[in-house]
Amino acid sequence: MKNNWLQNNNSFHVVLVFSNSGDLVVKEALFRIYELGSKFKVFDIHVVSPISRPYYLKFLREVIQNIIAFSLRIWYNGSSVEDLRKLINDLASRKDRAIFVVEKDMPEYYGLIRSFNFETIVVGE
């Protein structure tokens, strides 16, 4: 039976925005995923970062190895503010449920997110 698993709209989207090190952002995301685990069984994790594909995954190891009770789909969405805007527009147009976790040294990025109605956590603020 064919399905559309990758577009499963029962998932929750977690968008991580970080520059040189994703450690703090990822720790916060891990905590939030645990919290949301009672409601969602699939998480889409999007990364916006200058650390390119696949090297950004170095920071996601902890999430992948700890979250064994839910499905994870990890996407790289580019590095620029424009890349982030495109992602936000996509999520908004599909009415996806999402949370954004952003490094505090990236005001341009969280400024953009806050102009939409998504929950935003600025790490280190």
Partner 1 sequence: MSGYEIVLTTDRTMMSNHHGKEFLGFLATGPAIGLPERLWLWLAAPKMKVDNEGKPLEASYGMRKVEAKLIEEGFKAAIIDPDYLHKHLKTMKILMLGHHDYFAYGPPSSEWWMITGKEPVNRISFKKLMESPVVKKAKEKGVKIIAGGPGAWQWLWELGLWKKWGVDTVIDGEVERVIVDIVEKALNNEPLPDYIYVGPHDSPSVDEIPIIKGASVNGLVEIMRGCPRGCRFCSVTLRPLRYIPLDKILKEIEINKKYGVKSVILHSEDVLLYGASGVKPRPDPLIKLHESVSRIIDGHIAWSHASLAAIKYAEEKHKLVTKIMQDIVLTKQEFLGVEVGIETLSVRLAKIIMPAKSAPYPPEEWPNIVEDAFRIMHENRIIPAATLILGLPQETPDDVMETAELLDRIKDYRSVIVPMFFVPMGALKNRDWFRKNAVKTEHIEVMKKCLFHTLKWAEDIMNKFYLKEPYLAPVRLGLKLFLRYVKWKANKVIPRLETYMRK
Are residues 13 and 98 in contact, defined by beta-carbon separation less than 8 angstroms? yes
Are residues 26 and 63 in contact, defined by beta-carbon separation less than 8 angstroms? yes
Pairing between β-strand 71-76 and β-strand 98-103 as defined by DSSP bridges: unpaired
Residue 36 binds partner 1 (CB under 8 A): no
Q: Which of 5, 9, 82, 124 binds partner 1 (CB under 8 A)?
A: 5
- Quote the Cα angle for 29-12-57, to 5°: 45
Residue 72 binds partner 1 (CB under 8 A): yes
Residue 76 binds partner 1 (CB under 8 A): yes
Residue 39 binds partner 1 (CB under 8 A): no
Shorter beta-carbon distance to partner 1: residue 6 or 95: 6
Both structure tokens of 106: 């990236």
Task: Quote the CA–CA distance of 69 and 34 in Å, as a whole number.
Answer: 10
Residue 92 binds partner 1 (CB under 8 A): no
State the residues that interact with partner 1 by CB under 8 A.
1-6, 41-42, 44, 53-55, 57-58, 60-61, 64-65, 67-76
